[in-house]
């Protein structure tokens, strides 16, 4: 449970309260509805941690074992809760260790506030002990950053950081606070941030563009909607459902847009992209209109953009004008918050059904099932597949768990075969593809959604990148269920080496430790599954365990993820094997 806020006396009424900068930092975090901070202390951030000590009944701190774990946990928390994640680290290596997570959060539009300690302001630029140029390093990979060197500037910096992180298209921000700003004093008065004129505001939807989009949709006979994470970030799942059910348009989703539409909805035709489903990929080039809703048409969705959706007019609905026409030309751009623009579009379209067109997706699904999925879910070989493990875990949780993934084959298989009933049920590293993301992100996901089971699928390579976060799970006793899909390979790289480098498996064969012994050292129960007959019993044991649990499953060593669109090819070149 997150701690309740306890305001400082007099601060709400506008009467100044004398306090130190570090105390002002904690008070401002509480005012911004922060309940949990993920972090790791150190010299330059020590005053802030001392102030946190006295507010521990209001701010819960999760001590990770590496700063990268702190920011990935904050990302997982933000993605399932819809709130802004917060992490706090020290200067120098503490700050530089969060850079990967900042880049990941920027690429995937995740609202995170990162607080970094900094050396005393008189030492800035002198290469002092544990000094790095945090502002210079993080500027390209943050939505906004600032350095605070006066205690008086702490409240305004925090208020602005939270506003920018969560407004418009969300993203990460950094507040770099010098040590003297933390120990100096100020007269504290809390004030929510009021945006300045120069900050871009979300534009109102253009009615003429909506009219034109509706006209094209009403004329279309082969429409296809593409769902991105923008629907989830806007909280527009209901608006999306109303639009689809009135229009009768089939919908496919990016990996970041997964769970915006329930898996079993009749208009859900599957996943887009390099390892997406056969139907939505191959039929993109048959569509006469594409309605992109809250996605950025990145290369994993479009493949070769010169051959993308040749027959289709394109309506692109997105909150960020910089994404319009960046990769794919939009015939009708609709800039704005899709929670506002989707209902306006739904009002303007005619009720429709596209049964013959949807049947083409069903036909593609049958082909994919016969040639691929049946072999993945019901293999006739001794070795277990990743797909069958994923589906059986999903079914054991009644298709209603939060899915967290690491990166690689385990990620693609989990996204293909896990199923969902509710939104905000997927946490994965999309645009950056960060190995080591899964375990710490699952910690944040569980804290952000404490009432739901959380399953994290990890490969043996990615697991070892942040394996130290098992200690965080043990200390907090969070009931995260870890499913380790072990093929003793860096599987996705190996697959590419098989297909493009004549099976020259350069540095991808991996000698693994005894993961059960490691789990035992961290006080986490585990089971190792080597035979298919053991799987159901192991899943049952995992579900019944009250705390964290590791289920290692030995899967086929040289399995590959299909379908697949090779880099440089068009979606029509998708391979089923």
Sheet holding 268-271, edge to edge: 268-271, 251-253, 223-227, 289-293, 313-318, 332-335
Q: From the candidates 54, 129, 347, 501, which is the catalytic residue?
A: 129
179 belongs to the catalytic site: yes
Are 415 and 438 in contact by the 8 Å Cβ rule? The answer is no
492 belongs to the catalytic site: yes
- Environment class of 352 (CB within 10 Å of its CB; exposed 0-12, middle 13-18, buried 19+): middle
Helix (H, G, I), strand (E, B) or coil at 185: strand
4 belongs to the catalytic site: no
Q: From the candidates 20, 83, 160, 179, which is the catalytic residue?
A: 179
Whole-angstrom distance, CA of residue 138 vs CA of residue 321? 23
Helix (H, G, I), strand (E, B) or coil at 20: strand
Which H or E run includes 387? Answer: helix 386-396
Residue 498: name the closest of 563, 561, 414, 553 by CA.
561
Whole-angstrom distance, CA of residue 303 vs CA of residue 152? 50
Whole-angstrom distance, CA of residue 577 vs CA of residue 571? 15
Q: From the candidates 2, 5, 46, 130, which is the catalytic residue?
A: 130
Are 94 and 119 in contact by the 8 Å Cβ rule? The answer is no
Dihedral over Cα of 8, 13, 14, 15: its sign: negative
Side-chain-side CA neighbours of residue 11 (13 Å) = 21
Proportion of the chain in helix, strand, coil states, percent, rounded to 5: 40, 20, 40
- Residues ≥6 apart with Cβ < 8 Å to 87: 37, 38, 39, 67, 70, 71, 73, 74, 98, 112, 113, 114, 115
Whole-angstrom distance, CA of residue 551 vs CA of residue 530? 11
130 belongs to the catalytic site: yes
Strand locations in 168-267, DSSP E? 172-178, 185-188, 223-227, 251-253
Residue 344: name the closest of 336, 356, 353 by CA.
336
Q: Which residues are catalytic?
A: 67, 129-130, 179, 492
């Amino acid at each position: 449970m997150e701690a309740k806020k306890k305001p400082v006396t007099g601060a709400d009424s506008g009467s100044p309260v004398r306090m130190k900068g570090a105390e002002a930092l904690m008070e401002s975090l509480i005012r911004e509805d922060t309940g949990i901070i993920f972090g790791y202390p150190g010299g330059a951030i020590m005053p802030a941690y001392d102030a946190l000590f006295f507010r521990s009944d209001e701010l819960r701190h999760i001590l990770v074992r590496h700063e990268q774990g702190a920011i990935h946990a904050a990302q997982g928390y933000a993605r399932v809760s819809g709130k802004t994640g917060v992490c706090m680290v020290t200067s120098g290596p503490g700050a530089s260790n969060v850079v990967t997570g900042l880049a990941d959060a920027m690429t995937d539009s995740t609202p995170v506030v990162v607080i970094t300690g900094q050396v005393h302001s008189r030492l800035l630029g002198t290469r002092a002990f544990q000094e790095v140029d945090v502002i210079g390093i993080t500027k390209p990979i943050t939505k906004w950053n600032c350095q605070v060197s006066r205690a008086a500037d702490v409240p305004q910096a925090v208020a602005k950081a939270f506003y920018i992180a969560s407004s418009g298209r969300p993203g990460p921000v950094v507040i770099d606070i010098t040590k003297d700003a933390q120990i100096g004093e100020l007269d504290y008065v809390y004030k929510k941030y009021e945006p300045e004129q120069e900050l871009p505001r979300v534009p109102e939807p253009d009615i003429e563009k909506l009219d034109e989009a509706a006209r094209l949709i009403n004329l279309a006979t082969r429409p296809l909607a593409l769902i991105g994470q923008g629907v989830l970030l806007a909280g527009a799942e209901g608006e999306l459902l109303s639009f689809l059910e009135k229009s009768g348009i089939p919908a496919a989703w990016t990996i970041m847009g997964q769970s915006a539409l329930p898996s079993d909805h009749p208009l859900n035709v599957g996943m887009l992209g390099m390892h997406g489903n056969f139907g939505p990929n191959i039929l993109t080039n048959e569509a006469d209109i594409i309605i992109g809703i809250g996605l950025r048409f990145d290369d994993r969705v479009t493949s070769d953009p010169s051959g993308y959706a040749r027959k289709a007019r394109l309506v692109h609905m997105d909150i960020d004008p910089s994404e319009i026409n960046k990769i794919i030309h939009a015939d009708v751009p609709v800039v704005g918050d899709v929670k506002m623009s989707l209902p306006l579009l739904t009002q303007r379209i005619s009720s429709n059904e596209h049964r013959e067109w949807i049947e083409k997706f069903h036909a593609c699904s049958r082909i994919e099932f016969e040639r691929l999925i049946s072999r993945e879910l019901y293999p006739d070989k001794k070795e277990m597949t990743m797909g069958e493990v994923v589906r059986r875990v999903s079914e054991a949780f009644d298709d209603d768990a939060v899915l967290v993934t690491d990166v690689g084959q385990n990620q693609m298989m989990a996204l293909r075969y896990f199923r969902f009933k509710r939104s905000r049920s997927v946490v994965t590293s999309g645009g950056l593809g960060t190995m080591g993301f899964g375990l710490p992100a699952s910690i944040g996901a569980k804290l952000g959604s404490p009432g739901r089971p959380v399953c994290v699928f990890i490969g043996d390579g990615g697991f070892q990148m942040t394996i130290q976060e098992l200690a965080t799970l043990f200390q907090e006793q969070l009931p995260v269920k870890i499913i380790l899909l072990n093929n003793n390979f860096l599987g996705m790289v190996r697959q590419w080496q098989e297909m493009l480098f004549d099976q020259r498996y350069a540095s991808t064969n991996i000698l693994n430790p005894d993961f059960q012994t490691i789990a035992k050292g961290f006080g986490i129960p585990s089971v190792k599954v080597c035979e298919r007959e053991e799987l159901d019993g192991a899943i049952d044991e995992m579900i019944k365990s009250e705390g964290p649990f590791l289920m290692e499953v030995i899967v086929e060593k040289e399995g590959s993820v299909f379908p697949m669109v090779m880099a440089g090819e068009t979606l029509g070149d998708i391979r089923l094997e």
